Structure 1
Amino acid sequence: MSSGQAPPRSEPFAGFDAAGGGPPRPGPGERSADLRTWLRDLALGARFAVGGGREGWTRTLLTAVGVGLGVTLLLLTASVPAMVHTHSGKEHARESASEGYIAHPGDRTLLWADAGTTYHDHDITGYLLHPEGKQAQLPPGLESWPADGTMVVSPALRELLASAPLLRQRLDHKVTGTIGKAGLVGPADLYFYAGSDHLVARDAQYRHGNADRISGFGSPDRSDALGAPLEMLLIVVLVVLLLPVAVFIGTAVRLGGERRDRRLAALRLVGADIRMARRIAAGEALLGALFGLALGTVLFLAGRQLAAEVSVMSMSAFPSDLAPNPALTVLIVLAVPLASIAVTLAGLRGTAIEPLGVVRQALGRRRRLWWRLLPPAAGLALLAPLFGKVHNGSGINEYQVAAGAVLLLIGVTAVLPWAVEAAVGRLRGGPVAWQLATRRLQLSSSASARMVSGVTVAVAGAIALQMLFNGVSGDYVHSTGADTRRAQAVVDGTMADTARLAADARAIAAAPGVRQVYGYGRVEATRPDAGSLPRRADTQYPDLPLDVGDCTALRQMARITSCRPGSVFLVPPTDDAYGAADYRKYLRPGARIDLNGPDGDTYTGSPRLWRIPAAAVGVRSRADATGSHAWGVLATPQAVAGASLGELDGWLSVVLDPDRTDAIEHARNAVAALGPDLDVFTLYDTRTKAGFVQIRRGLFAGAAFTMALIGAGLLVTMLEQLRERRKLLAVLVAFGTRRSVLGWSVLWQTAVPVVLGLLLAVAGGIGLGAALLAMVRRPFHTDWAGVGTMAGVGAGVVLAVTLLSLPPLWRLMRADGLRTE
């Protein structure tokens, strides 16, 4: 070799990259892999996945099961918008189409009256119908009008009536048909239409009659907007439910890592470079993801057919209502395979694949923390500008909120591998089972962290949501002011006179489980000279309430020390701005009032004057069982015996026996027997806004599906890890290791990452919850009991999965695991 001539370049051994320590240099003509090369290597990887015998098929099927479970939930979530739209459309289609009062019957008019009721925790919607014209529109789902005394019911209500004799006594109409699918929101809908020839149209003042005259069905959608806080709550709910699914899919496509590494080393030995080996590995994962996509579609279609049989938190849907949004479906179909390729390539980024084996993190570098803190920092930076700016009446950037929440939760999963590595690296000594577990964690901390990452994200999100729910609940959960210790139900309706009031009270009190019934009848009186005033629109007719009841009822309305038949009491308004001038002028001992109160702004009929007794006593108002304060004249029936009261607006408070759970049902049956003019209302301490209730129900239903998915996915992941270590387990048993020791080692291998993951979940969840509370301008508060519950649920899921994996573990430790090829 002459001077100045470059030494000949030696060829590397087959399968080895050129020396140099850096990344492999592409050969001539292979500067970068084109699409054709990618497709060839991906197809080759798919062939290896299905051509590796039983082991290859088992690994691919396990991956497909894991991905398929995630795809099922994603498709279900993509169906929610269409389902909500369909449900809303059906709700409005069966509501009244009339927007104003209809005075006279016509060819298209009909009468309808609310006849809904409640049975235990089931709200039953129903209407009495009577067509006035031959062309009256039928309600959706009906083929003909129900005759008088008959009713058409939903399938769910038909089943409930068959199993609830008390409800059947109340709804005693003869069932002659079933409401069609077009008239029902869901298969669990409790709905009925009953025919009645006893309906009388109400007048313009809504005081006389028992039914509304309408022109048909189908009202426009005028539902109130959720408001910024509730909309933000909905966004966070979707993030919390879907992010664990995405994390789980990313874990599922990495199953079978150790066996795959040995195949990749063999490929390197026969001449494949690192890039090609990685593309082949991505092809194996891609095939499992495609099978998972197909399996998820099949599971979704099969589960959709069972939707009619399932009701979660009173929510149900027909199979046809569960139609995934086309755009979201396309996104899922594209994202799942691409994510499998990206996750596989990212997982091999720190792996040295050589012909004689695979070394992960060949340089032995410890994981760095700083870059793992960047996602939560970026998420906090996105949410910080919204602090204090999310309130009712304000707008909200949905993408900014969703991105910020996603980044904060991703930060929890990013920190988890570092935390597991840092913690298990310091573990030494202990029992044999503990040493086996810690050594395994030290060798494969990434796999252990990935296994519990889904649980960690789910728990962190649940803690944040709980903090947000508790923070904004005051805006959507209001106190009714009712005192449920004094009465548990109220009956109201129009009554002819005080005798009817007393008779109805006795009838209700005779029902089983009813301890006491007391109440009053109200007459809206007015000024004594109302009948002689000019009949003009600007004439003022003050409302002067007169309440008639026995002493027991009056003592519930005012602070009365002495009461006997014939007593009359004067109660001033609790608010000086409401009725104060009328009270001083007209409501005083010896003054006269006109019991013929006007219908709205119109005075009709003849005056019915009544003089307030001179012995009337002034008393202070007291909140009744409903939380209302009465004012005006309180009189016993004997004091108004000679007065012409006319119809009364009756209010009866019902006290129930707390030891009889069916007492309220007997009371409702007794009221139903008194006629359709009376309604029963159960008293509650709080009232919750419907939109808030729906989101909370949706969260519980979605959380149940998500935790079930995570549990199933954990089981698949753990079984795959045990299958990969079958030979090692068999060797340990052959050398005399007790099976119980190996069982405890598996439990400890799961427990350590779970504890670390739950600690991170608590910290991350509280951090995200604090940010969300700051956005809606609520003080920071943590419900530690709730935090403990959420963490306990997550730990329970992992414990259940671990226990379910023990039977396969015993089988894997048999001697036939020593066989090899």
Structure 2
Amino acid sequence: MSAGQTVRDLAMGARFAFTGGREGWVRALLTAVGVGLGVALLLLTTAVPSALSERDRRGSARDDFTYSGKVMPKADDTLVIGRTDTTFRSDDVRGRLLEPEGARAPLPPGITRFPAKGEMVVSPALKNLLESDSGKLLRERLPYRVTGTIGQSGLIGPAELAYYAGAQGLENHLTGGNAERIDRFGPSPGRTTEPLDPVLLLLILIVFTVLLLPVGVFIAAAVRFGGERRDRRLAALRLVGADGRMARRIAAGEALAGALLGLALGTGFFLAGRQLAALLKVQDVSVFPSDLDPSPALVALVAVAVPAAAVLVTLFALRGVVIEPLGVVRTAQPPRRRLWWRLLLPLGGLAMLYPMIGQGNDNGNFNEWLVIGGTVLLLVGITALLPWVVEAVVARLNSGSVSWQLAIRRLQLSSGSAARMVNGIAVAVAGAVALQMLFAGVEGDYTKQTANDLTRAQLEVSTGNGIPLAEAGRRLAKTEGVRRASAISMASVGDRAKQPDSELEVAVGSCAELREVARLASCRNGDVFRILGSDYDSKTKKLAEPGSTVYFDPSYEGTTSHPTAWTVPARVKSAEQREDPTGYARGGLLITSGALPRAAASGLYQKVFVMLDPSVPDARENARNTAARLDPMANVFNLASSEQSQQFQSIRTGLFVGASCVLVLIGASLLVSQLEQLRERKKLLSALIAFGTRRRTLGLSVLWQTAVPIALGLLLASAVGLTLGAVLLSMTNTTVRVDWMGVLAMTGVGAGVVIAVTLLSLPPLLRLMRPDGLRTE
């Protein structure tokens, strides 16, 4: 056989795909749409690394805080920048105050000129929010006039809420930590990214494997659309002289044509979807369309792998089909499927994962090839086991209503087709169950409980110096939705005015407010206390000795301040430690307002513990607005019972983004598959209607044909997912626990997608159930 003959056979198959009349091009179009949806998601996946890289690059290019603790000298090329980040409901808002100090001051990326005092430039998303009715409270917090928008180079995503506002007098805040003098934007030298530990790397590997594998399964199923009609055409070709090998090459050419058309459609779907990317926001992540730029090497891999897979799947599907001139042997009762070789796939996967059981975080990184290979074999084992399970179960199901018997008989005759439709959703659910178990199992290692007492406060507000003593507490206490506000003024004292060798922390407030941070036996205005029982007792006794002199707000190298000398009074009372609402037990000095020297008040900063009224919907936003009026650079912290690793949260966010895309693919591919199966049964449905079968009976039979394989597939997927999840937890050296609610949730999501697809397929089903469907050309 020459290469030219092979090419001619493939070309003949391609012509059959597009010139076989209405049946031919409809089949080719359905195949192309199914393949195209998978290709679009593969291209999206190959574009994700570049999108995340672009987000990180733009984020690094606008870095403005070095956190060095040193103050740069003022020059013609310096800029004082103040951080005014806030949160509006559940969205983070990035805010910066700008004060250029010379003609060559650096401009932040994305803006063309510095806003004047009272003006701001905003991101397009923030502009839309401020102009909407829902942004009323946020407008009160940002009392600036909008004069422009931030360009793409200054934003990490189109949905980011960000602004730059003009300001004056920021130099006075340089020692407070919320302002800094800089001469450029960009990453600070010496700053490094914390590497991922082995368990987090394992999570990333499993996420990518679990999300991509269903795509391959759907593509493999799509190239087999119209298989029975294709085999009958091949039998006709045998009748006119084609041999068996030629028939298979023609079938491969037909599949290749559908796959190539699918590549073209998939590219179109991807380009169209990329333009819509700016409108989507998943778990606070959004990307610009231009960021979704797949690597040329990965695109080439997809372009080669998809057609090659289509040809291989077609040839594999024909391995057990005898195509003779007078028909296809497969139309007879097929032999019973064998189980033994189907078990080799999951067993091989377990064998690949077994050597890494118990490894955890302490024995280096996991072998990525064994992890990927073992996971793929376990999940692909579902596609091998499911046809056997469906055949074995439906063979024992007979009695029932007419609709039930029609459905079961159809499944008994074509259990393979029913299983192929379910394979993708079963693989996706199994992977989701395993991932859910893995995330739930290791979550405790990346989540720590805080010491915050949420019964005493839900917000902590920190304002800079210059705020009058007790003003912050009084104004916050009067805010709508605030039940109570306890303001503590904070400072430090040293043994010298400059470069002190020893320091003590100081808290200033009324007797009631000081009782929030210490236990006082008796207190009246003018008293001074030193807290005993802490780890710093010796230093406290030394510095707070009656008659000794200490200095408020001492200065250090590179910082400017105005130290105030103060003599410790002769009568200093003792106080016991008490944890504040954040769980911190302080030491040092407590000073009531009447005992504080007047000159020291300017160096204090306020910390206010705020208790909210849960019955007021926007209590948090009202409190943030009051804090912003007190000090535009005030820090408002939500007190939470637990904190989670940022890296762990990022991986979980990536999983949600990917899972959302895969769910869309699952639904669309299932719908295409369902429509293809209904199209193939058009004449059968019309014949049954012509003989008087009720539409309700036929509709129920179609639903049963979908429900039975789906139920079996979800049961098998749950079993495989639980097995894979248990093995992965054992690999991370974590106690194996099954979160049954999570398993049921994952299974319910899969079932919900199928129900939605089934409902969407009912209108075409009703159109097909008409007697005139028997008409033929």
Q: Return the TM-score normalized by structure 1.
A: 0.89
Corresponding letter in the other structure for 1:295: L
Structure 1 residue 293, shift from structure 2 partner: 0.7
Q: Which residue is equivalent to 1:44? A: 12
Find out whether 1:130 has 2:99 as its counterpart: yes
Report the CA distance shift for 1:606/1:684 in structure 2 as closer, same or farther (over 3 A).
closer
- Contact 1:147-1:196 within 8 A present in 2 as well: yes
Structure 1 residue 365, shift from structure 2 partner: 2.9
Corresponding letter in the other structure for 2:711: V
Corresponding letter in the other structure for 2:86: T
Distance 1:565 1:59 in 2: 88
- Map 1:142-221 to 2 at 5 A: 142-163=111-132, 164-200=135-171, 206-207=175-176, 211-219=179-187
Q: Which residue is equivalent to 1:510? A: 478
Distance 1:803 1:102 in 2: 65
Which range is displaced more, 563-572 or 768-777?
563-572
- Contact 1:351-1:362 within 8 A present in 2 as well: no
Structure 1 residue 387, shift from structure 2 partner: 2.2
Q: Which residue is equivalent to 1:76? A: 44
Distance 2:624 2:80 in 1: 24
Distance 1:154 1:194 in 2: 12
Distance 1:587 1:261 in 2: 95
- Secondary structure in 2 matching 1:774: helix
Corresponding letter in the other structure for 2:681: R
Q: Which residue is equivalent to 1:434? A: 404
Find out whether 1:384 has 2:354 as its counterpart: yes
- Contact 2:124-2:150 within 8 A present in 1 as well: yes
Which range is displaced more, 699-708 or 244-253?
699-708
- Contact 2:33-2:262 within 8 A present in 1 as well: yes
Q: Which residue is equivalent to 1:343? A: 313
Report the CA distance shift for 1:414/1:561 in structure 2 as closer, same or farther (over 3 A).
farther
1:800 to 752, 756, 772: 756
Q: Which residue is equivalent to 1:4? A: none
Q: Which residue is equivalent to 2:487? A: 519
Which range is displaced more, 661-670 or 786-795?
661-670
Report the CA distance shift for 1:798/1:524 in structure 2 as closer, same or farther (over 3 A).
same
1:748 to 688, 694, 704: 704
Q: Which residue is equivalent to 2:196? A: 226
- Map 1:15-414 to 2 at 5 A: 33-96=1-64, 101-163=70-132, 164-200=135-171, 206-207=175-176, 211-219=179-187, 222-360=192-330, 364-391=334-361, 394-414=364-384
- Contact 1:237-1:465 within 8 A present in 2 as well: yes
2:512 to 531, 552, 556: 552
Distance 1:253 1:501 in 2: 74
- Map 1:464-479 to 2 at 5 A: 464-479=434-449
Report the CA distance shift for 1:99/1:656 in structure 2 as closer, same or farther (over 3 A).
closer
- Contact 1:60-1:288 within 8 A present in 2 as well: yes
1:634 to 585, 590, 593: 590
Distance 2:147 2:653 in 1: 34
Which range is displaced more, 809-818 or 95-104?
95-104
CA deviation vs aligned residue, 1:104-159 (integer Å, no higher than 9, x gap): 21222111110121111111111111122222221111111111221111111111
- Secondary structure in 2 matching 1:522: strand
- Contact 1:610-1:643 within 8 A present in 2 as well: no
1:655 to 600, 611, 625: 611
Report the CA distance shift for 1:67/1:202 in structure 2 as closer, same or farther (over 3 A).
same
Report the CA distance shift for 1:420/1:81 in structure 2 as closer, same or farther (over 3 A).
same
- Contact 1:41-1:279 within 8 A present in 2 as well: yes
- Secondary structure in 1 matching 2:635: strand
Quick check: which has more Rg, 1 or 2? 1
Q: Which residue is equivalent to 1:608? A: 566
- Contact 1:150-1:173 within 8 A present in 2 as well: yes
Report the CA distance shift for 1:302/1:644 in structure 2 as closer, same or farther (over 3 A).
closer
Find out whether 1:581 has 2:538 as its counterpart: yes
CA deviation vs aligned residue, 1:223-249 (integer Å, no higher than 9, x gap): 222222212111111111111111001
- Contact 2:72-2:182 within 8 A present in 1 as well: no
Distance 1:109 1:326 in 2: 41
- Contact 2:525-2:593 within 8 A present in 1 as well: yes
Any unmatched runs of 5+ in structure 2? none
- Contact 2:463-2:631 within 8 A present in 1 as well: no
- Secondary structure in 2 matching 1:608: strand
- Contact 2:119-2:165 within 8 A present in 1 as well: yes
CA deviation vs aligned residue, 1:471-502 (integer Å, no higher than 9, x gap): 221232222321223212111133358xx131
- Contact 1:72-1:297 within 8 A present in 2 as well: yes
Report the CA distance shift for 1:400/1:580 in structure 2 as closer, same or farther (over 3 A).
farther
Distance 1:162 1:643 in 2: 44
Distance 1:592 1:787 in 2: 66
State the percentage of identical aligned residues: 53
Structure 1 residue 583, shift from structure 2 partner: 3.9
Distance 1:545 1:585 in 2: 14
Q: Which residue is equivalent to 2:744? A: 788
Give the alignment's Cα RMSD to 1 decimal. 2.4
- Contact 2:549-2:565 within 8 A present in 1 as well: no
CA deviation vs aligned residue, 1:494-544 (integer Å, no higher than 9, x gap): 3358xx1312211222222222111211232345xx57xxx8x8x731x32
- Contact 2:552-2:603 within 8 A present in 1 as well: no
Structure 1 residue 98, shift from structure 2 partner: 5.8
1:778 to 734, 753, 759: 734
CA deviation vs aligned residue, 1:14-42 (integer Å, no higher than 9, x gap): xxxxxxxxxxxxxxxxxxx4432322111
Q: Which residue is equivalent to 1:540? A: 501
Corresponding letter in the other structure for 1:547: A
Q: Which residue is equivalent to 1:571? A: 531
Corresponding letter in the other structure for 2:144: H
- Secondary structure in 1 matching 2:236: helix
Distance 1:147 1:459 in 2: 55
Corresponding letter in the other structure for 2:492: E
Structure 1 residue 677, shift from structure 2 partner: 4.8
Structure 1 residue 568, shift from structure 2 partner: 5.0
Q: Return the TM-score normalized by structure 2.
A: 0.94
Runs of 4+ in 1 over 6 A off after TM superposition: 601-604
Structure 1 residue 641, shift from structure 2 partner: 7.0
Report the CA distance shift for 1:431/1:519 in structure 2 as closer, same or farther (over 3 A).
same
Find out whether 1:444 has 2:444 as its counterpart: no
Report the CA distance shift for 1:61/1:103 in structure 2 as closer, same or farther (over 3 A).
closer
- Secondary structure in 2 matching 1:611: coil
Report the CA distance shift for 1:422/1:638 in structure 2 as closer, same or farther (over 3 A).
same
Distance 2:598 2:714 in 1: 75
Distance 1:723 1:214 in 2: 68
Q: Number of residues paired by the alignment?
A: 770
2:673 to 708, 712, 717: 717
Distance 1:138 1:393 in 2: 47
Structure 1 residue 636, shift from structure 2 partner: 3.2
Distance 2:705 2:273 in 1: 34
- Contact 1:201-1:212 within 8 A present in 2 as well: no
Structure 1 residue 689, shift from structure 2 partner: 2.4
- Contact 2:448-2:643 within 8 A present in 1 as well: yes
CA deviation vs aligned residue, 1:82-110 (integer Å, no higher than 9, x gap): 11111111001011386853532122211
Distance 1:285 1:57 in 2: 13
